[in-house]
Amino acid sequence: MMRFEWAVALRFLREGGMQTVLIVAGSTVGIAVIVFISSFLGDLQQDLIRRTLGVQPGIIVRPAEEVAHPQRGPGGAALIEQVQARAQRLRSVDQWQALQAELEATPGIRAVSPVASGPGLVTRGDVNKSVTITGIVPERYVAVTRLDEKIVAGDLRLNPGDTVIGTDLARDLGVALGDKVRLSTPTSAGDAYQVRAIYDLGQRNLNRAYAYVTLPTAQALLNLTGGVSSVELAIDDLFGAEALAARLQARVPHEVESWMKANSQLRTALNNQTVMTLLVRFFLALVVAIGLASVLIVSVVQKTREIGILRAMGASRGRILRVFLLQGVLIGVVGAVLGSACGYLLTSVMSDVLRADDGTPLFTAHFNLALYLYTVLGATVLGLVAAVMPARRAANLDPAQAIRL
């Protein structure tokens, strides 16, 4: 199939010499940058989300808010004109054990962690600091929040008399590992707890926010016997959080909230970033296509006589058209293969160079086969589209005139 077209297209490209080398190099650079941006953007955003969210889960399930239902008269009209919104008590998620089992069986959910949290005070000597007392089952909680990676002193093995606090809170209170602090709540006078570990989430306010205790301890302190204030979920696809939350919302009688809703500013910023990089990639592709088209147009002009003689010898318009379309595709595909390789190298190098303040790489270079396949596919279409105008011009040359030149 198309042996003639292949033979002529390949020879024309080879004959093009430096012209061909330059356009392949240009396509390679353009495609390499597109591959580079595509491969690190996802990683970079995931990393940003992880760092910004701290210990926030992908999705959180809470008891539905209590609403005041005004009494209604016959005909449905409210009997009372002014209805005050209810204050939200600390309540437990109804039948949370069953919910936990159900969520664990749901596809897309990687881990489920029950949490009992509420307001409290941590006291040492005459210093009081308000914190969120957070009762956790450590092995479940770390599966959702990776708190274990944030521990800077001690370790996250909570016994009933232990607590874990943040670095800044520890400094405020002047406590070190092994020291005792008092935890109390409005409903409980509290007790003394030993600081078992100290965490650092990289944000000062978060490092003052939580005092972690075991789930039963928190239940006792917060007067939530046997209950949990929320169930937190780790999900496979961070960007699919909103969709998954909506599906869960339809199934459970609780309030389901994704990180996207809880952090709409972050989400907007990420969306803008995605749109911007999409634009950059689009215009890069456009520049590659324009370069390709202009080189092919020049080639058609240079080869006018040869096109004329091929037509006289019996090459149809379709064949001449395909000879030039094929050249566009070939340049596109070669550019995509070289560009993917260069993009991968660039990603590897940059993942070494770009690091977060804690020294960990901002993103990791992995061999993303699907990305490279899409790149080659995209470049094929790009080359084909870019070659349409030059190819039509070549095919429509009048052979009698072309030969006379």
Partner 1 sequence: MNPAIIELKGIRKTYNAGTPVAAEVLHGIDIAIGRSEFACLIGPSGSGKSTLLNLIGLLEWPSAGSYHLRGRPIEQADDDERTRARLETLGFVFQFHHLLPAFTALENVMLPGLMRYGAHTTEQRANATELLTAVGLGGALHKRPPELSGGMQQRVAIARALALAPELVLADEPTGNLDTHSADDVFELMRRFNETRGTAFLIVTHDPRLAARCDRVIELRDGAVVSDALRQS
List of residues contacting partner 1 (CB under 8 A): 1-4, 7-8, 11-12, 14-15, 305-306, 308-319, 399-400, 403-404
In angstroms, rounded to a whole number, what is the distance separating the alpha carbons of residues 239 and 221? 36
Closer by beta carbon to partner 1, 2 or else 278: 2
Burial class (CB within 10 angstroms; exposed 0-12, middle 13-18, buried 19+) of 282: exposed
Structure tokens at 249: 């919302």
Closer by beta carbon to partner 1, 10 or else 137: 10
Structure tokens at 399: 């052979």
Minimal distance, residue 30 CB to partner 1, in Å: 27
Minimal distance, residue 322 CB to partner 1, in Å: 12
Closer by beta carbon to partner 1, 204 or else 305: 305
**What's the gap between Cα 71 and its chain centre?**
47
Closer by beta carbon to partner 1, 21 or else 152: 21
Nearest Cα to Cα of residue 161 among 96, 235, 214, 101: 214
DSSP string, 128-154: EEEEEEEEE-HHHHHHHH-GGGGEEEE
Residues 6+ apart with CB under 8 A from 156: 138, 142, 147, 148, 164, 196, 197
Minimal distance, residue 295 CB to partner 1, in Å: 17
Minimal distance, residue 303 CB to partner 1, in Å: 9
Closer by beta carbon to partner 1, 20 or else 145: 20
Minimal distance, residue 10 CB to partner 1, in Å: 9
Minimal distance, residue 24 CB to partner 1, in Å: 17
8 A C-beta contact, residue 163 and residue 196: yes
Minimal distance, residue 395 CB to partner 1, in Å: 10
Closer by beta carbon to partner 1, 7 or else 127: 7
Closer by beta carbon to partner 1, 148 or else 306: 306
Closer by beta carbon to partner 1, 9 or else 116: 9
Residues paired with 192 in a beta bridge: 182
C-alpha distances in angstroms, 125 versus 161, 174, 179? Answer: 19, 10, 12
8 A C-beta contact, residue 337 and residue 383: no
Minimal distance, residue 399 CB to partner 1, in Å: 5
In angstroms, rounded to a whole number, what is the distance separating the alpha carbons of residues 386 and 382? 6
8 A C-beta contact, residue 253 and residue 64: yes
